[in-house]
Structure 1
Amino acid sequence: MSFPIHGIPKHLSLIIFSCALTLIILLNIPQTNPQIKPHASPRSEPAVDLSNLADDESENIKIVYDSGTEKIKSPGELQARSRLAQALPKTLPPAAVVLPESQANVTMYRPSYFHLPDLTVKEAYRGLIKQYLAPWKGLEDKAIPAVKVTQRMLATMEYAYKGGGFRVRICNNKVYFRKLVHWKQTYRTQRMLWYLRLLYEILKKDKLLSEKTMQKGLDFVIYVGDGAKVASDTFTTEAGFPLFSLRTSMLHIDIPIPDPVQHGSNGQYKWTEAGKTVPWENRKPQLMFRGRGSCLKMQADNWHFCNRVRLQQLSRQFPDDIDAGIIQWNQIYKAGKMVIPPASIEEIERSTGLKTVEPMDFDNQSHYKYIIDVDGGLGSSRKPGILSSGSLLFSSESPWYTYYEPMMEPYKHYIPVDRWLRNLPETVKWAQANDEHAKTIMENGRKFEAKFLTVASSKQYMALLLDEYAGLLAEDVPGDAKVEVDYCLNMGNQDIENGPMGCSQGWILYNDHEVPDEITCDRRGR
């Protein structure tokens, strides 16, 4: 429908009206952003706090994705994007940092404390410890008292987690411990000895515990298995306890402590100095992985689910970009009661089309620019070694995390990969096409490791944690007095009666670097 304009013929009115409408439409089309690649659609920019960036950084660096818009799905993504801008060197020309579109869908399964690495080691660790002890700390400003750790609670924990846990008392300037049963896995004993040495040095050599803690004493339980144990639900029998563990998750309340394996307790994951010195420019622009087929207990065709199987299959499909291989099938014949007979190696390899490959030492791994960490089902101990190696860490996001991982920022310290590896090929391509950015992230990761993940910094974390934990103990620690429960009498367990301490309610005194006989034989404690 048209309307005649006074004094102008009807057909000319129609033409003028159409031209005006076209002009209005053109004026409302947004201008093309010159920083975004021609093929890319501008990503809608939600509010991002760039107050901690220098003016020239926030103006010159723009982070976009290589295709259209979509919803933000990762709670830490906005922070990660702004921090990537901060991480990039100022020598780079003003340009867009174009991330693969698939990166927008990578979900993090841990809290994000990205501000902490900017603080001192002590301040950063105090921030972490505050979060990990929050379930027991109470709300003082709201008159809700803290949860006190009683001797009864500790006795329950000692028995509940005896299959991979040991109890420690620190009092009278001495370290005592109890271990109820023999463990089938020898690596657990290696981990326990590492913790005892660490605690002994914190107490005797470094003297890191506060005077208040020394007067009160300490009593706690450490679990040395791979996974978290303590939930806060009605499904789990032993729930709500302050257990020290290697890892935790968003569904667990285990208090994470330094991982002995990361520091070579079993002789693995310690990177060689020769490997660390290979120049970035001399490394292959490929992603590499070598490891066992750990993931789950393989039975009834479930091994196709395993990420390490998927990773080797991706390597076969993208051989120029990925060099990944499984060196051993190690989760066969371990399942409990099985309806279907256990699978054989031949069946697994036939169904997956894969064969095991030869291991690769760290010196040879250092000739790759990118190394991926894919956890073996209950988390991983590889990250510190990779961060220190001079290669760029790619990490598949895992529901399990260690004490320091909430401080690690995607795109600043490492490259995140979808939990199921769905975006891995595109992410490798991005690193290859953005070599300077990739190198900068690698260097940031190496600095993070040197600051937070040494043995010295691990001692700082442990001492600060123990000082805070001591305030939760309901009473002063009663020296080396006997524990109040006779587990043999109450439980009648033969594994305890035949264990390292028998039915003793006493303690074993730890002396520097000595391996007590009770660890390897059935001799009773005092």
Structure 2
Amino acid sequence: MVCERSADLVKPYESGLFCRVVIFIVFISINFGVCECEGISPEKCLIWGLGLNPDRVLPVRYFYIQAVNSKGENLTLSPGKDTFKVKISSLDKKEHIRIHVPPPLDREDGSFLVRYRLYGTALNGLKIDVLHNDAPVAMSPYIMQGPVYHEYCDCPEPDASAWRSVMQCPAEEPQILADFKSFPSVDLQYIRQEVPPRFSNRGGLIHYAIIDNQLYRRTLGKYTDFKMFSDEMLLSLTRKVRVPDVEFFINVGDWPMETRRSDAVPVLSWCGSTDTRDIVLPTYEVTHSTLEAMRGVTNDLLSVQGNTGPPWVNKTSQAFFRGRDSREERLQLVSLSKQNPELLDAGITGWFFFRDREKHVGKTPLVGFFDFFKYKYQVNVDGTVAAYRFPYLMLGSSLVLKQDSQYYEHFYSYLEAGTHYIPVKRNLSDLLEKIKWAKENDAEAQEMARVGQAAARELLQPSRLYCYYYRVLHMYSERQTGQPAQHADMELVPQPDDHTAACTCGRKSHKEEANTKDEL
């Protein structure tokens, strides 16, 4: 087995013989120096994760492999992207189910992320084989007794507490608790009268009701196309767990809405700010990429973990930014970049808000997102609101320099400036100074990047998004007064109908369970 290692660049010398000697020494140091890959021990490797439990239904299931050597030590560097092979099949050989299982993602730290998407329900269960050089790894094979439901199987768990336990949902979410402090009670009759006239002309507002686990809505405002994102997440959630009857409004525009400090009304939004009282949900960007992972999108919370660029020592020691012109500070970045190219590489890739300045500032070609991580430092500057790339940057192996902002996403309260990322003043006046610090304190910068990445991996697991959505709706339902209702001007939002994927739900419905209890 060959360890993946990087070596410092060797300055060429005029003497060909000396050059060959230096190259030989470097070759020796790469292949025979301190190396963790003395031999992976398949039986000592570790395997864990939600994707090994049949009751944890997600669009893409996932689990982890930790490479361990013969001494029982966890590897902390990559042993090679082809170290492990995974095969997933139905326990019933007569049951033909399409299962998409790409190669494990090498997270470059000795661990691997395994993903798979079911396109049908495995009624009898699944067998998961994890191999290293054809030898079974850890406790492989793993048997998941059926049924194992696929994403579009409408088969909600009637016991929400059991679902939360299976999904390993956190007991509390600090941001949710903070958001609901402004709303000790929610008077449904009042918000039905108050919210539409105040906010329907502000862009996109959707009035939802979940009644008996069915989703209903009416649209308010001119720009409501983004309801597709809230629809798909709410439908996905109600396929997995019974949600309490609840009636609420979701803002599908960019900006948070409720600015009142007193007499505020609860509006659910994808972004919050220190100037508003909106209740924050995970953004449409992270939820959509989670729902469409390994299908409609390529950049998602899982795929980015295996595409974090070269090892730290081989990354370019510059800060990097690419993005459109959605905030003036982004144009300022380009100016700083032109004046300090050794520190910063920044460019605007699309013009809409400041088109009169395009000729002066210039337009830069698009760069693939995974290529961002060729650079040691990533600059995160707000767009119209919080930059929704931030969670993806945090999942990479670069150090994030984040602009101070009044805007936030649902997970920001867990992060600490100076521990998980480097804070930068809103006017960017200290950006160059912070980049210089990172360059001069390379080991500390690398460690901060690692700590931030580790936090993001935990906070941004797809399962946590479902837990968060459920927690918001559950807390809202506990505080609402009045009866949630399907109003005459609401339409049913149907579950998607996929005739190609069988779905035989073996769980008792809420009504069936109630009838069973009555009989007892």
TM-score (norm 1): 0.57
CA deviation string 1:102-160 (max 9, x = no partner): xxxxxxxxxxxxxxxxxx851341x32111100111xxxxxxxxx33223413432443
More helix by share: 1
Contact 1:286–1:322 under 8 Å retained in 2: yes
Contact 2:399–2:445 under 8 Å retained in 1: yes
Matched, 1:180 2:208: no
Cross-structure match for 1:132: 179
Cross-structure match for 2:418: 411
Q: What code does the residue aligned with 1:256 have? A: V
Alignment match of 2:267 (pick from 243, 254, 275)? 243
Cross-structure match for 2:346: 324
Looking at structure 1, the residues matched to 172 and 456 of structure 2 have their Cα atoms a distance apart, in angstroms, of 14
Q: What secondary structure does 1:226 align onto?
A: coil
Of all paired residues, the percent bearing the same amino acid is 24
Contact 1:269–1:382 under 8 Å retained in 2: no
Contact 2:326–2:352 under 8 Å retained in 1: yes
Matched, 1:476 2:483: yes
**Alignment length (residue pairs):** 321
Looking at structure 1, the residues matched to 393 and 402 of structure 2 have their Cα atoms a distance apart, in angstroms, of 10
Quickly say closer, same or farther: Cα 1:403–1:363, change in 2 above 3 A.
Answer: closer
Alignment match of 2:228 (pick from 193, 202, 206)? 193
Q: What code does the residue aligned with 1:204 have? A: R
Q: What code does the residue aligned with 1:231 have? A: T
Q: What code does the residue aligned with 2:205 have? A: G
Looking at structure 2, the residues matched to 279 and 229 of structure 1 have their Cα atoms a distance apart, in angstroms, of 42
Q: Where does structure 1 lack aligned partners over 5 or more consecutive residues?
A: 1-119, 138-146, 296-305, 333-343, 483-504, 515-526
| Range 316-325 or range 158-167, more displaced | 158-167
Contact 2:419–2:448 under 8 Å retained in 1: yes
Quickly say closer, same or farther: Cα 1:430–1:261, change in 2 above 3 A.
Answer: same
Q: What secondary structure does 1:132 align onto?
A: helix
Alignment match of 2:492 (pick from 500, 508, 514)? 508
Once the 2 structures are TM-superposed, how far is the Cα of residue 468 of structure 1 from its aligned partner? 0.9
Contact 2:421–2:449 under 8 Å retained in 1: yes
Quickly say closer, same or farther: Cα 1:432–1:208, change in 2 above 3 A.
Answer: farther
Higher relative contact order (CA 8 A, sep 6+): 1
Once the 2 structures are TM-superposed, how far is the Cα of residue 322 of structure 1 from its aligned partner? 0.3
Cross-structure match for 2:194: 156
Contact 1:263–1:269 under 8 Å retained in 2: no
Matched, 1:170 2:210: yes
Q: What secondary structure does 1:252 align onto?
A: coil
Quickly say closer, same or farther: Cα 1:294–1:466, change in 2 above 3 A.
Answer: same
Quickly say closer, same or farther: Cα 1:414–1:269, change in 2 above 3 A.
Answer: farther
Cross-structure match for 2:8: none
Once the 2 structures are TM-superposed, how far is the Cα of residue 233 of structure 1 from its aligned partner? 5.0
Alignment match of 1:455 (pick from 432, 451, 462)? 462
Cross-structure match for 1:122: 170
CA deviation string 1:249-282 (max 9, x = no partner): 2221011110011345596964645532532222
Structure with larger Rg: 1
Once the two structures are superposed, the pairs formed by residues 319-358 of structure 1 within 5 Å of their partners are: 319-332=341-354, 345=356, 348-349=357-358, 353-358=360-365
CA deviation string 1:285-307 (max 9, x = no partner): 11000011112xxxxxxxxxx10
Once the 2 structures are TM-superposed, how far is the Cα of residue 459 of structure 1 from its aligned partner? 0.9
Quickly say closer, same or farther: Cα 1:470–1:314, change in 2 above 3 A.
Answer: same
More strand by share: 2
Quickly say closer, same or farther: Cα 1:441–1:452, change in 2 above 3 A.
Answer: same
Q: What secondary structure does 1:276 align onto?
A: coil
TM-score (norm 2): 0.58
Looking at structure 1, the residues matched to 221 and 358 of structure 2 have their Cα atoms a distance apart, in angstroms, of 37
Cross-structure match for 1:499: none
Alignment match of 1:257 (pick from 281, 286, 291)? 281
Q: What secondary structure does 1:422 align onto?
A: coil
Looking at structure 2, the residues matched to 274 and 312 of structure 1 have their Cα atoms a distance apart, in angstroms, of 29
Contact 2:259–2:275 under 8 Å retained in 1: yes
Q: What code does the residue aligned with 1:226 have? A: D
Once the 2 structures are TM-superposed, how far is the Cα of residue 201 of structure 1 from its aligned partner? 2.3
Alignment match of 2:326 (pick from 276, 294, 307)? 294
Looking at structure 1, the residues matched to 333 and 460 of structure 2 have their Cα atoms a distance apart, in angstroms, of 27
Once the two structures are superposed, the pairs formed by residues 306-455 of structure 1 within 5 Å of their partners are: 306-332=328-354, 345=356, 348-349=357-358, 353-455=360-462
Looking at structure 1, the residues matched to 217 and 261 of structure 2 have their Cα atoms a distance apart, in angstroms, of 30
Looking at structure 2, the residues matched to 197 and 152 of structure 1 have their Cα atoms a distance apart, in angstroms, of 28
Q: What code does the residue aligned with 1:247 have? A: C
Matched, 1:227 2:234: no
Looking at structure 2, the residues matched to 155 and 294 of structure 1 have their Cα atoms a distance apart, in angstroms, of 34
Looking at structure 2, the residues matched to 285 and 124 of structure 1 have their Cα atoms a distance apart, in angstroms, of 39
Q: What secondary structure does 1:471 align onto?
A: helix
Contact 1:388–1:449 under 8 Å retained in 2: yes
Quickly say closer, same or farther: Cα 1:387–1:200, change in 2 above 3 A.
Answer: same
Quickly say closer, same or farther: Cα 1:373–1:135, change in 2 above 3 A.
Answer: same
Alignment match of 1:280 (pick from 271, 292, 312)? 312
Q: CA RMSD in A?
A: 2.4
Contact 2:205–2:221 under 8 Å retained in 1: no
Contact 1:178–1:508 under 8 Å retained in 2: no
Once the 2 structures are TM-superposed, how far is the Cα of residue 457 of structure 1 from its aligned partner? 0.5
Q: What code does the residue aligned with 1:195 have? A: S
Quickly say closer, same or farther: Cα 1:436–1:455, change in 2 above 3 A.
Answer: same
Q: What code does the residue aligned with 1:310 have? A: Q
Once the 2 structures are TM-superposed, how far is the Cα of residue 435 of structure 1 from its aligned partner? 1.4
Looking at structure 1, the residues matched to 364 and 405 of structure 2 have their Cα atoms a distance apart, in angstroms, of 25
Contact 1:149–1:473 under 8 Å retained in 2: yes
Q: Where does structure 2 lack aligned partners over 5 or more consecutive residues?
A: 1-167, 290-295, 499-520
Quickly say closer, same or farther: Cα 1:508–1:158, change in 2 above 3 A.
Answer: farther
Looking at structure 2, the residues matched to 430 and 513 of structure 1 have their Cα atoms a distance apart, in angstroms, of 55
Q: What code does the residue aligned with 1:318 have? A: N
Once the two structures are superposed, the pairs formed by residues 263-274 of structure 1 within 5 Å of their partners are: 263-264=287-288, 270=300, 272=304
Contact 1:396–1:421 under 8 Å retained in 2: yes
